[in-house]
């Protein structure tokens, strides 16, 4: 790109960014980007409350407990043995259940539930007639579970809805919005190559979407980390790939903006009504797992799914169709996925460059 083109691209970006960031009709994109942040904030608040309660229970106990103490409780132990080991339970529920016996008489079944805490993790011990029947340990910080939850929100809400529709709103308006506002001639009257203009607009859209969604992604990560204490945070970031995952999610977000952005840029030139390509793309991306391998390659989500760092496990008993939607049955290597998405985006940009050269100013037909 020569220096003149670069100056022109910068001028287009300056004009477009101002319009994109401060357009009233784009406010919903900010809402969409803020939704998962709100979700993780709520989660963090709930978890912080839970930690507070857990710490409070631990303080109420007879003696300080360790995680090993909690793990030592087994089914079949008596209530006395449990109390002897862990002390008097700080939280204790009990009730009596009248139950009919085979002979027809009624017996009183004694139920008890003890709750202990080591300050981070809770143990729920269910006793029936003084004998331990069930033990549930609720870990205060379950990195695996948290990572899967984050991955679920990222893949099924953030990528498929927030970034998808955000890119639709921004990239489709780059040319389409100008035609509707009857102001596209401003650009077409300048001594600028149409494809340079298209690249300028694409980069402006990319900068806007990346700024909005990468900030959203970082805020989501910050909100997600918020309920961790310093020690756990360090553990998660450095020992459990927390930092690595956050960086990968940022990268996937940028690639999603490139892929969906290029697609919606060309769609904005080819279609007058954004609902048609949006619906078609949403369906195409949705049915991607069911498509033959060749067709899969012509979608964005196919590559993005392969790049996501955490695989979402399929619970046993999940219907096969849902299981196919959730799992990534046909993953490809990250270098191939990145190359694939860049090729799909390049193809879309090539079609855009052809289309922009054909565009005419004919507002009356709109």
Partner 1 sequence: MSDRIIFEDVSKFYGEILGVNRVNLSIPPGITSLVGPNGSGKTTLMNLMTGLVKRSRGKIQVLGIATDDPENLFKVVGYSTQFDAFPKGLTGFQFIYSYLCLSGMEEREAERAAWQAIERVNLIEAATRKVAAYSKGMRQRIRLAQALAHNPKVLVLDEPLNGLDPLARAEMIALFRASAAEGCYVIISSHILHEVDVISDQVILLSNGYVVAEGQIQSVRNEIQEHPTQILIRCDRPRDLAARLFQSEYMIEASIHKDGRGLLLKTRDADRFYLAMNELALDGIQIESIAPADDDVLSVYEYLIGNEEVVR
Question: Residue 275, by phi and psi: left (phi above 0), alpha (psi -120 to 50) or beta?
Answer: alpha
Q: How far is the CB of 262 from partner 1 (least distance, A)?
A: 23
- Give dist(CA 302, CA 337) in Å, integer: 8
β 106-117/91-100 pair status: antiparallel
> Of 53, 111, 193, 240, which lies in the binding site for partner 1, with binding defined by CB under 8 A?
193
Residues in the chain: 366
Number of neighbours of residue 295 by Cβ within 10 angstroms: 13
Contact 59, 120 (CB under 8 A): no
272 binds partner 1 (CB under 8 A): no
Q: How far is the CB of 355 from partner 1 (least distance, A)?
A: 13
Strand, helix or coil for residue 316: coil
18 binds partner 1 (CB under 8 A): yes
* Nearest to partner 1 of 21, 271 (CB atom): 21
Q: How far is the CB of 213 from partner 1 (least distance, A)?
A: 24
Q: 247 φ, ψ to 5°?
A: -65, -40
| Tokens of residue 145, six digits | 């579970």
25 binds partner 1 (CB under 8 A): no
> Of 104, 191, 317, 319, which lies in the binding site for partner 1, with binding defined by CB under 8 A?
191
Binding letters toward partner 1, positions 131-170, x by CB under 8 A: ----------------------------------------
Q: How far is the CB of 14 from partner 1 (least distance, A)?
A: 7
Site for partner 1 in 168-187 (CB under 8 A): 181-183, 185-187
Task: From residue 207, give the alpha-carbon distance in Å to each of 84, 162, 203.
Answer: 63, 16, 6
Question: What is the contact surface with partner 1 in residues (CB under 8 A)?
Answer: 4-5, 7-8, 10-12, 14-15, 18-19, 22-23, 181-183, 185-194, 196, 357-358, 360-363, 365
């Amino acid at each position: 790109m020569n220096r003149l083109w670069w100056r022109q691209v910068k001028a287009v970006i300056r004009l477009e960014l101002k319009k994109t960031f401060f357009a009233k009709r784009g406010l919903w994109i900010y809402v969409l980007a803020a939704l998962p942040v709100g979700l993780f904030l709520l989660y963090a608040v709930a978890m912080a409350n839970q930690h507070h309660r857990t710490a409070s229970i631990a303080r109420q106990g007879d003696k300080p407990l360790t995680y090993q103490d909690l793990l030592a409780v087994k089914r079949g132990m008596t209530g006395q043995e449990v109390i002897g080991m862990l002390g008097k339970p700080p939280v204790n529920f009990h009730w009596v259940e009248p139950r009919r016996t085979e002979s027809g008489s009624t017996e009183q079944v004694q139920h008890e539930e003890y709750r202990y805490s080591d300050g981070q993790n809770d143990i729920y011990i269910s006793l029936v007639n003084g004998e331990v029947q069930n033990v549930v340990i609720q870990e205060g910080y379950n990195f695996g579970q948290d990572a899967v939850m984050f991955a679920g929100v990222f893949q099924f809400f953030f990528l498929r809805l927030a970034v998808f529709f955000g890119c639709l709103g921004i990239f489709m308006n780059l040319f389409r919005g100008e035609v509707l506002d009857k102001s596209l001639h401003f650009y077409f009257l300048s001594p600028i190559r149409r494809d340079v203009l298209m690249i300028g607009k694409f980069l402006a859209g990319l900068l806007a979407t990346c700024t909005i969604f990468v900030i959203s992604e970082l805020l989501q990560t910050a909100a997600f980390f918020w309920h961790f204490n310093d020690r756990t945070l360090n553990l998660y970031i450095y020992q459990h790939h927390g930092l690595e995952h956050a960086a990968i999610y940022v990268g996937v977000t940028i690639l999603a903006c490139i892929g969906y952005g290029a697609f919606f840029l060309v769609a904005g030139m080819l279609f007058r009504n954004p609902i048609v390509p949006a619906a078609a793309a949403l369906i195409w991306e949705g049915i991607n797992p069911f498509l033959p391998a060749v067709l899969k390659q012509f979608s964005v989500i196919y590559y993005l799914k392969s790049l996501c760092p955490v695989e979402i496990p399929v619970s046993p008993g999940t219907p096969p169709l849902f299981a196919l939607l959730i799992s990534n049955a046909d993953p490809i290597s990250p270098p191939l996925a990145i190359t694939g998405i860049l090729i799909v985006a390049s193809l879309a940009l090539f079609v855009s460059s052809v289309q922009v050269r054909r565009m005419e100013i004919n507002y009356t037909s709109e």
